[in-house]
């Protein structure tokens, strides 16, 4: 005869009623998410309060129940705040932990809170509240970084540096113009995050497990109380959609990609071979063996952390690929990549915003580097074109002049008029003006160009946008 297993008693999980034996220890640990989703507690409580109040408005919960729930959830928030809350993997996740404690504190009202709701719409709501908050913090930090970039740019409109292509000296640019390129990139990043926020800010609650609920609920009331712009229109989609999380990670990956490019430049610029800038000591570290070293660890780590952010994006895309409707437990795996993405982006932005207040610029090294790479060769070619030579021929003539200068170990500007005229008889006295670095800079005077006048305009526009 088969031994009858004793059904689990109270104190077991919120769903244990239909099971005849307790969950295996390893399975319990494998399926629990409380270690990482407990950071959603504040949002979970917010969502529960709105849900309970709505159930009362709709006549499902009594006034007494709601006030018990409010009191209990306030106590729980305080326990969590004081780090006295007893988190347990016996209760699987943040939702069941809080619900169990609520029931301990206020009795039956706690057991009624889950009426017309499922953890499926509950967790989707929590993540959206969390992401909305993270997005707002990221947007504020991008703005601070931009302000500090623009402030540095303002001081360096007339600071001339070599602009590069292929990391070879190409044409002179204003250092401010170079910095403002990153302003533009981060501006697009901010736009993307705010557009993503619109899609995050829709309420899934009310979808219940997947099909909605039989209770007369008012989802709009909950949306209003929680500051959502609207409610998710389809219950199946509401509980299973994680597009918004993927989108957030994609926006984060683009932002980090931009910051990794900036990092690479900082690293190159501060290498003694370039010597363009110095970072404040507080952002650098030394070597345990080489006493002379001042290493750019922060930019190197930003560059490195970009890899994990890309990884998180791919993890979420892969997580969602081919999932049937509606909720699947796979989705529990969305949290760690998402949290780490937000944490990493926030920490990176905080540190970079501060870093740009302590950049020391070596203008002489920048100018000297620009003077070494025949950076005005295009200007001389343009000069010949203006005298009537077709561009391809002008290009060829200047290339030969560059070869001569290179053989002599001098810059184009150091060749005599006679020497230049060997390559084209069109070269006149006035050609020498074209070869000055400052002349080359000032000549690119159109929207988006590097002429100081244009850079000042771009900075003023950025200031206006930032103060709006
Ligand atoms: N911890 C779960 C998650 O993060 C909550 C939802 C669980 N729902 C369920 N039916 N097992 O996705």
- 287 labelled catalytic: yes
Which residue has the least CA distance to atom 11 on ligand 1?
329
Query: Which of the residues 20, 62, 271, 287 is marked catalytic?
Result: 287
Tell me if 10 is assigned to some domain.
no
Mean pLDDT over all residues of the chain?
Answer: 95
Q: Would you state the pLDDT for residue 285?
A: 80
Task: With a cut of 70, say whether residue 393 has pLDDT above it.
Answer: yes
- Measured in Å, residue 337 CA sits from the centre of ligand 1 at 16
- Measured in Å, residue 332 CA sits from the centre of ligand 1 at 6
Task: With a cut of 90, say whether residue 432 has pLDDT above it.
Answer: no
Q: Would you state the pLDDT for residue 2?
A: 47
Tell me if 203 is assigned to some domain.
yes
User: For the ranges 13-22, 49-58, 202-211, 415-424, which has the lowest average pLDDT?
Assistant: 13-22
Contact status, residue 159 vs residue 238, Cβ threshold 8 Å = no
Q: Are residues 185 and 271 in the same domain?
A: yes
Q: Are residues 329 and 411 in the same domain?
A: no
- 446 labelled catalytic: no
Q: Are residues 145 and 285 in the same domain?
A: yes
Task: With a cut of 80, say whether residue 146 has pLDDT above it.
Answer: yes
Tell me if 402 is assigned to some domain.
yes
pTM confidence score:
0.93
Q: Are residues 278 and 402 in the same domain?
A: no
Mean pLDDT of 168-186: 97
Q: Are residues 129 and 94 in the same domain?
A: no
Query: Which of the residues 10, 166, 288, 467 is marked catalytic?
Result: 166
Q: Would you state the pLDDT for residue 358?
A: 92
> Per DSSP, what are the bridge partners of residue 172?
162
The percent of residues in the chain predicted with pLDDT above 70, rounded, is 97
Task: With a cut of 60, say whether residue 86 has pLDDT above it.
Answer: yes
Which one of 37, 323, 329 would you pick to mutate in the ligand 1 pocket, going by the greatest count of ligand atoms within 8 A of its CB?
329
Task: With a cut of 70, say whether residue 4 has pLDDT above it.
Answer: no
Q: Would you state the pLDDT for residue 373?
A: 84
Last residue of one domain, picked from the residues 315, 338, 363? 363
Domain count for the chain: 3
Is the CB–ligand 1 distance for residue 126 below 6 Å?
no
- Measured in Å, residue 333 CA sits from the centre of ligand 1 at 10
Q: Are residues 242 and 303 in the same domain?
A: yes
Last residue of one domain, picked from the residues 363, 385, 410? 363
Q: Are residues 272 and 141 in the same domain?
A: yes
Mean pLDDT of 92-96: 98
Token pair 């640990």: residue: 29
Q: Would you state the pLDDT for residue 12?
A: 62
Tell me if 125 is assigned to some domain.
yes
Tell me if 13 is assigned to some domain.
no
Which residue has the least CA distance to atom 3 on ligand 1?
332
- Measured in Å, residue 120 CA sits from the centre of ligand 1 at 6
CATH number for the domain including 263?
1.20.200.10
Q: Are residues 197 and 287 in the same domain?
A: yes
CATH number for the domain including 459?
1.10.40.30
Mean pLDDT of 422-427: 94
Whole domain around residue 382: which residue ranges?
368-467
Last residue of one domain, picked from the residues 332, 363, 394? 363
pLDDT tens sequence across 234-279: 999 999 999 999 999 999 999 999 999 999 999 999 999 999 999 9
Task: With a cut of 80, say whether residue 305 has pLDDT above it.
Answer: yes
Which one of 94, 123, 207, 339 would you pick to mutate in the ligand 1 pocket, going by the greatest count of ligand atoms within 8 A of its CB?
123
Task: With a cut of 60, say whether residue 5 has pLDDT above it.
Answer: no
> Do the bridges between strand 230-231 and strand 202-203 make them parallel or antiparallel, or are there none, so unpaired?
parallel
Q: Are residues 186 and 270 in the same domain?
A: yes
Task: With a cut of 50, say whether residue 79 has pLDDT above it.
Answer: yes
Is the CB–ligand 1 distance for residue 123 below 6 Å?
yes
Q: Are residues 266 and 124 in the same domain?
A: yes
Q: How far apart are CA 221 and CA 62, in angstroms?
A: 17
Task: With a cut of 60, say whether residue 168 has pLDDT above it.
Answer: yes
Tell me if 200 is assigned to some domain.
yes
Tell me if 462 is assigned to some domain.
yes
Contact status, residue 375 vs residue 170, Cβ threshold 8 Å = yes
> Per DSSP, what are the bridge partners of residue 162?
172
Tell me if 251 is assigned to some domain.
yes
Q: Are residues 235 and 325 in the same domain?
A: yes
Q: At 1, is the pLDDT very low, low, confident or very high (cuts 50, 70, 90)?
A: very low
Q: Are residues 439 and 461 in the same domain?
A: yes
């Amino acid at each position: 005869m088969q031994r009858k297993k004793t059904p689990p008693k109270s104190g077991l999980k919120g769903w244990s009623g239909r099971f005849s034996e307790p969950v295996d220890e390893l399975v319990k640990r494998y399926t629990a998410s409380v270690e990482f989703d407990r950071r959603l507690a504040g949002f979970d409580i917010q969502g529960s309060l709105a849900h309970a109040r709505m159930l009362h408005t709709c006549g499902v919960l009594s006034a007494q129940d709601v006030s018990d729930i409010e009191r209990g959830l306030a106590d729980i928030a305080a326990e969590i705040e004081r780090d006295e809350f007893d988190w347990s993997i016996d209760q699987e996740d943040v939702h069941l932990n809080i619900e169990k404690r609520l029931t301990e504190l206020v009795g039956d009202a706690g057991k009624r809170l889950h009426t017309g709701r499922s953890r499926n719409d509950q967790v989707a709501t929590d993540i959206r509240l969390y992401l909305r908050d993270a997005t707002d913090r990221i947007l504020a930090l991008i703005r601070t970084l931009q302000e500090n970039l623009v402030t540095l740019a303002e001081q360096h409109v007339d600071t001339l540096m070599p602009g590069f292509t292929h990391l070879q000296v190409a044409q002179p640019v204003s250092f401010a113009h170079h910095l403002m390129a990153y302003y533009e990139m981060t501006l697009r990043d901010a736009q993307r995050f705010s557009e993503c926020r619109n899609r995050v800010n829709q309420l899934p609650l009310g979808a219940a497990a997947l099909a909605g609920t039989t209770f007369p609920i008012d989802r709009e009331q909950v949306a209003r109380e929680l500051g959502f712009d609207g409610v998710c229109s389809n219950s199946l989609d509401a509980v299973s959609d994680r597009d918004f999380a993927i989108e957030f990670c994609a926006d984060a990956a683009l932002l980090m990609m931009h910051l990794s490019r900036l990092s690479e430049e900082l690293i190159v610029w501060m290498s003694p071979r370039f010597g363009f800038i110095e970072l404040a000591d507080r952002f650098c570290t030394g070597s345990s063996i080489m006493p002379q070293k001042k290493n750019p660890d922060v930019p190197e780590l930003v560059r490195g952390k970009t890899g994990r952010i890309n990884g998180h994006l791919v993890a979420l895309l892969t997580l969602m690929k081919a999932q049937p409707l509606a909720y699947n437990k796979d989705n529990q795996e969305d949290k760690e990549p998402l949290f780490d993405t937000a944490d990493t982006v926030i920490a990176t932005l905080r540190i970079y915003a501060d870093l740009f207040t302590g950049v020391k610029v070596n203008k002489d090294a920048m100018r000297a580097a620009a003077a070494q790479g025949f950076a005005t060769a295009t200007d001389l070619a343009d000069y010949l074109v203006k005298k009537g030579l077709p561009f391809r021929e002008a290009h060829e003539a200047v290339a030969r002049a560059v070869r001569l200068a290179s053989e002599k170990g001098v810059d184009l500007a150091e060749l005599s008029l006679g020497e230049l005229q060997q390559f084209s008889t069109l070269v006149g006295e006035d050609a020498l003006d074209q070869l000055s670095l400052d002349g080359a800079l000032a000549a690119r005077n159109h929207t988006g160009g590097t002429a100081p006048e244009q850079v000042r305009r771009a900075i003023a526009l950025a200031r206006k946008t930032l103060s709006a």
